[in-house]
Amino acid sequence: MFRTLSQRVWPSRTVLVREKHTLPDLPYDYNALEPVISAEIMQLHHQKHHQTYVTSLNQAEEKFLEAKEKNDLKTMIALTSQLRFNGGGHINHSILWQNFSPKGGEPEGDLLKAIEANFGSFDTLKNGLSSSAVSLQGSGWTWLGYNKSTNSLAVATCANQDPLEPTTGLVPLLGIDVWEHAYYLQYKNVRADYVKNVFKIINWKDVATRLATARQ
Amino acid sequence: MFRTISQRLLPRCMSMRQKHTLPDLPYDFNALEPVISAEIMQLHHQKHHQTYVNMLNQTEEKFMEAKEKNDLKTMIALGPMLRFNGGGHLNHSIFWQNLSPNGGEPEGELLEAINKDYGSLENMKNIFSSATVAIQGSGWGWLGYNKTTKTLAITTCANQDPLEPTTGLVPLLGIDVWEHAYYLQYKNVRADYVKNLFKIINWKDVAVRLASAKQ
């Protein structure tokens, strides 16, 4: 309603009305993913790390719009790094919380068919995702993504909080966060154990829904 | 002596490569408390740094095997592993020396250089802290020395990229902001870790590095 009013009162000037990003709720309690991921990690990861990305993203967008108003192109460009890092952090973690479920399960139906068509078997996919996640240097994410051009699945990695689709064009289906904050309090330096265990809590229905949507 | 014999007996033999080893800490694991916990020091040294050393040795071995076969593609493919693990070994070897339970304050030529290039120690620390806290992802903040311009410089490197091979700056003081360096104690509050770290800097070591770089 606010947008329409501004267009009627000032028909010659479009005022950019920006909705602030907000931290999405988790679809389960902090302790729901134990013993795979501790409540302590879930709470810090959600309320501190993801919240900070949301807050910083809102700040970066506000500064960007102010710079745009002044036609300050240098500042707009300088802000893209903050936009990518915090925007990516918000996008990635919003997907992650939905990718998890205490009940876990297995892929089925069209998703399973696609996995078998592209990787041979579910086990081969798991091995591919795992080795990619474990060998990632520094902070980043390993993804199972969907390539719309070739109608195929792919395993890809992104550094830091680079979001999959803007960076590679692949549609994100399932993400594995290997920033140390995702596992260190519980698994210390043994990232491999964390990655192995994470497969027990994947919400394959959510992954299947994302694939179905991407294929539309 | 072994080398001489092997050179006489096997004139075309592989070069004798010395393996890298994990350097000892110059203090106990608990010596840097309460700034850095013993648990972090032990994991950081015995697990993280040790792994960089092991992987560096493995990578160098594979590199030499590839070189023997003139397999250039493999030599090139091994580059990232060499950089990551070699950098990890270089960086942490400097880091353990950069820290001390009774580090003191900068003095003499080091303090002069800091005052000349940054106005004051406080100003240098502020710039160094902001740059380091703002690193996106894993990496290191560095106080380095530019041999060309004969000035100090503050910069950051991603992941385990080693300062000198990456930028040409000689490393004087590094701040590790990989989450494993502080998370068990400081959780997501990297700023508190960086602030506290200044209480345990071994400024004598930093001064020695500067003096060596100036030679």
Q: Higher-confidence residue: B141 or A4?
A: B141
Average pLDDT over residues B179-198: 98
| Domain-embedded: residue B2 | no
- Report d(CA B157, CA B135) in Å as an integer: 9
CA B72: distance to chain centroid? 29
Burial of B54 (0-12, 13-18, 19+ CB in 10 A): middle
B66 and B140 in a single domain? The answer is no
The DSSP result for A153-181, as a single string, is: EEEEEEETT--HHHHHSPEEEEEEE-SGG
**What's residue B4's pLDDT?**
47
Q: How confident is the model at residue B9 (pLDDT cuts 50, 70, 90)?
A: very low
- Report d(CA B106, CA B212) in Å as an integer: 16
Measured between beta carbons, which residues in chain A are less than 8 angstroms from residue B84? 137
- Contact of A185 with chain B, judged by CB distance below 8 Å, is answered with yes
- Contact of B179 with chain A, judged by CB distance below 8 Å, is answered with yes
- The whole domain housing B89 covers 38-98
Measured between beta carbons, which residues in chain A are less than 8 angstroms from residue B86? none
Q: How confident is the model at residue A16 (pLDDT cuts 50, 70, 90)?
A: low
B116 and B210 in a single domain? The answer is yes
**Interchain pair A181, B183: CB under 8 A:** yes
pLDDT of A29 strictly over 70: yes
- CA A216 to chain B, closest CA, distance in angstroms equals 34
CB B193 within 8 A of CB B182: yes
Q: What is the DSSP letter of A100?
A: B
Number of compact structural domains in chain B: 2
CA-wise closest residue to B155 among B137, B138, B131: B131
- Report d(CA B133, CA B123) in Å as an integer: 15
CA-wise closest residue to B206 among B88, B49, B89, B100: B100
CA A48: distance to chain centroid? 16
Q: Which domain-ending residue is among B98, B117, B147?
A: B98
Measured between beta carbons, which residues in chain A are less than 8 angstroms from residue B188? 44, 48-49, 52, 181
Average pLDDT over residues B18-29: 96
Beta bridge partners of A156: A143
Measured between beta carbons, which residues in chain B are less than 8 angstroms from residue A139? 137-138, 179
Q: Which domain-ending residue is among B98, B126, B146?
A: B98
Q: What is the CATH number of the domain that holds B67?
A: 1.10.287.990
B91 and B143 in a single domain? The answer is no
Measured between beta carbons, which residues in chain B are less than 8 angstroms from residue A161? 136-137
Length of chain B: 215
**What's residue B17's pLDDT?**
66
Strand locations in chain B, DSSP E? Answer: 139-146, 151-158, 170-176
Identity at A56, one-letter amino acid code: S
pLDDT of B13 strictly over 50: no
**Interchain pair B158, A188: CB under 8 A:** no
CA-wise closest residue to A195 among A155, A147, A153: A155
Query: What's the CATH fold of domain A39-99?
Result: Helix Hairpins (1.10.287)
Q: How far is CA B41 from CA A5, B16, B95, B96, B174, in A?
A: 60, 33, 11, 10, 16
**What's residue B103's pLDDT?**
84
Nearest to B180 among A52, A161, A189 (CB): A189
| Domain-embedded: residue B21 | no
Nearest to A137 among B159, B180, B187 (CB): B159
Residues with Cβ < 8 Å from A89, sequence gap 6 or more?
A: A49, A50, A52, A53, A57, A161
| Domain-embedded: residue B22 | no
B158 and B182 in a single domain? The answer is yes
| Domain-embedded: residue B136 | yes
B158 and B61 in a single domain? The answer is no
Least-confidence region, from A1-10, A32-41, A100-109, B180-189: A1-10
Mutate to test the interface with A, among B56, B166, B176, B179 (most CBs of A within 10 A): B179
- Report d(CA A153, CA A156) in Å as an integer: 10
| Domain-embedded: residue B194 | yes
Is it true that A39-99 and A109-215 share their CATH fold? Answer: no
- Compare all CA atoms of chain B with the CA of A82 and give the residue at the minimum distance: B136
Tokens of B6: 């092997």
Measured between beta carbons, which residues in chain B are less than 8 angstroms from residue A42? none
- Report d(CA A58, CA B172) in Å as an integer: 37
**pLDDT per residue over A130-188, tens digit each?**
999 999 999 999 999 999 999 999 999 999 999 999 999 999 999 999 999 999 999 99
B64 and B159 in a single domain? The answer is no
CB proximity under 8 Å: B 117-156 to A: 136-139
pLDDT of B15 strictly over 80: no
CB A123 within 8 A of CB A107: no
CA-wise closest residue to A53 among A93, A89, A91: A89
**Interchain pair B179, A139: CB under 8 A:** yes
B47 and B91 in a single domain? The answer is yes
B198 and B150 in a single domain? The answer is yes
Average pLDDT over residues A103-124: 97
Q: How many CA atoms lie within 13 A of A172 on its CB side?
A: 24
**Interchain pair B188, A48: CB under 8 A:** yes
**Interchain pair B187, A140: CB under 8 A:** no
**H or E stretch covering B185:** helix B183-186
CB A43 within 8 A of CB A65: no
Sign of CA dihedral A134, A139, A144, A150: negative
Domain positions in chain A are 39-99, 109-215
Q: What is the CATH number of the domain that holds B204?
A: 3.55.40.20
Q: What is the mean pLDDT of chain A?
A: 93
How many other C-beta atoms are found inside a 10 Å radius of the C-beta of residue B81? 18
**Interchain pair B137, A139: CB under 8 A:** yes
- Strand, helix or coil at A42? helix
CB B108 within 8 A of CB B207: yes
Measured between beta carbons, which residues in chain B are less than 8 angstroms from residue A180? 138, 178-180, 183
| Domain-embedded: residue B190 | yes
CB proximity under 8 Å: A 127-156 to B: 137-140
- Report d(CA A179, CA A48) in Å as an integer: 14
| Domain-embedded: residue B85 | yes
| Domain-embedded: residue B192 | yes
- CA B62 to chain A, closest CA, distance in angstroms equals 17
pLDDT of A195 strictly over 70: yes
* Domain at A109-215, CATH class: alpha beta
Mutate to test the interface with B, among A189, A190, A194 (most CBs of B within 10 A): A189
